A and B are shown apart, each in its own frame.
Chain A
Amino acid sequence: MAHDTHHPGTGQDAPLWPWLAAAVAALLGLAAWTQFSASPPVALQQLAKWLPTLLLGLGANIGISVLAMALGTVAGLLIGALSLSTLAPVRGATRLYVQVFRNAPVLVLVYFSTYVFPFELQLHHWRLPFPDWIKVVLGLALPASANVAEIFRGAVQSIPSAQWEAAQSLALSRRDIFRLVVLPQCVRRMLPPWMNLYASITMATSLASLVGVHDVVDAAQIASNTVSRTDFTALIYASLLLLFFAYCYPIARATQALEARHARH
């Protein structure tokens, strides 16, 4: 339903990409300057030197987020499906799971998975190291799964009951109704909140630095301590902010575009 508003500048009035394009251009200009100029500021030189390390760290963050989201989605869909079960105890158990892992601070869950899981796994006589980043993946998969379960349940419940009635009147079984009528519509409704969740999980990977994973935040801290200049510290943390922004903001915009497209249906 389209509401015309009387407020100027609601929503995305000025597209942000001109600003971003300008920022990227400025950064590239700075980079070029440091490479080709005789005496660029020391801080910028150092930034150029540390940038590959930062980007490597960011790769670790992205890797963790993708794995955590994949795991969380599979588990969440399962739990979401169980939450619609006809058996009350099953529904209760899933409700408890969702409540616990949605209300727990993500930091606490990351600590939980890091410290509670063993240092290494022993399978017969093989010793598999259980690296920290996998623990973070598991730790983030827990709230991811709880949220995916909620998103799934919300999407199924948002299908108007009229659809159910129509499908039932066609003598479709409950299973078939799910498969042919409800789930295809659910996927579309689930996509925007799911994308939002992915952006949140990516931002939560920054907590991995607190449990010893060598991610981008950790790299920035090492760089800052190594170079030990105020202007460089300011620069590297600003870059850290911008790196996360460059990754998460396009996701947010894509989500909004997706929502806007479906709102017209």
Chain B
Amino acid sequence: MADSSWLQEAVQATRALGLNYAFVLDAGERQAFARGLWVTLQLCAVTLPLSLLAGVGLASGLNSPRAWLRRPTRVFVELTRNTPTLVQLYCAFLVLNLLINQQLQGRAGNPLTPFAWVVIVVALHKAAFHAEALRAGLQAVPAVTLEAARSLGLSSRQLLLQVELPLALRFALPSLVNNLVDAVKMTAVASAIAVGDVTYESIMIWTQRDNVLELLLLILLYFGLLTWGVSRAGRWLENRLRMPGYGT
């Protein structure tokens, strides 16, 4: 293949540094690793927006005037925020999934793949943090600004959509972006239930080739790239939504 020559050169160069990247020369392993990169990207692409949606849902539940909605939501949020993601994943995949399979008795296929479970668990875990960030953002909206909006004759709904939520979002944005960066890193737990993300594929390769350090460096670079991308997007959004002169 035409590109094998530059790959060989690259492997030679790294060998000079004492790193063994020979696995990239093996087509099967190279493709497995590339697949892992792609799966991680997919995990992030699906989980991040879902977590934001779920976060908004949880936030509105937390702020609901109805106690029957508010209390269970708070219990859920506190449970999710104060227990490890790995344990939540096991509970979801090893317990809930098992129960679902038992109920289905092999009739119809269980639509929830391990990939789906990782997405659900990580998205809900992060949604709890988003909900807290949004709650703090809503609290930070000065009561007097809401008073002014009310005195103009805006209805409660208009107040929420035109004044309260835009301001709360701007206040909560740095926290939300931080949470999304955390979510990217959290997708690595997918390897614990054998979802073929980059961590899992790397484990498969290094158990054969014992080049743990080399693979970890690649993984770190890749995650660094993804988190940098999310941070940049966050900063772009912050700039777009900034309020000139605010706070001065």
Where the two chains meet, the residues of A that have a C-beta atom closer than 8 Å to any C-beta of B are 3-11, 13-14, 16, 19, 100, 103-108, 111-112, 115-116, 199, 203-207, 209-210, 217, 220-221, 224, 230, 233-234, 237-238, 240-241, 244-245, 248-249, 252
Contacts and interface: CB of A to CB of B under 8 A. Distances in A.
B185 A241 contact: no
19 contacts: A8-B70, A10-B63, A14-B74, A103-B224, A103-B227, A115-B212, A199-B82, A203-B84, A204-B84, A205-B84, A207-B84, A210-B192, A217-B87, A240-B90, A241-B79, A244-B82, A245-B79, A248-B82, A252-B81
Given A8-B63, A209-B86, A230-B98, 8 more contacts: A105-B185, A108-B220, A108-B223, A111-B199, A240-B91, A244-B83, A245-B79, A252-B82
Nearest to B159: A6
Interface in B99-140: 99, 102, 135, 138-140
Contacts of B189: 107, 207
A206 B84 contact: yes
Interface string B159-198: 0000000000000000000000100011111011000000
Contacts of B199: 105, 107-108, 111
B140 A244 contact: no
Contact of B83 (A19, A207, A248): A248
B202 to A, nearest CB: 9
A258 B219 CA distance: 38
Contacts of A203: 82-85
Contact of B102 (A116, A230, A245, A248): A230
B83 A245 contact: yes
B241 interface: no
Interface size class of B (residues with CB under 8 A): 35 or more
A210 B84 CA distance: 13
Nearest to B92: A237
Contacts of A9: 62-65, 67, 70
B45 interface: no
Interface of B: 62-65, 67, 70-71, 74-75, 78-79, 81-88, 90-91, 94-95, 98-99, 102, 135, 138-143, 146, 181, 185-189, 191-192, 199, 203, 206, 212-213, 216, 219-220, 223-224, 227-228
A206 B189 CA distance: 11
A107 B191 contact: yes
A230 B99 contact: yes
Contacts of A111: 199, 203, 212, 216
Contacts of B81: 252
B10 to A, nearest CB: 22
B220 A16 contact: no
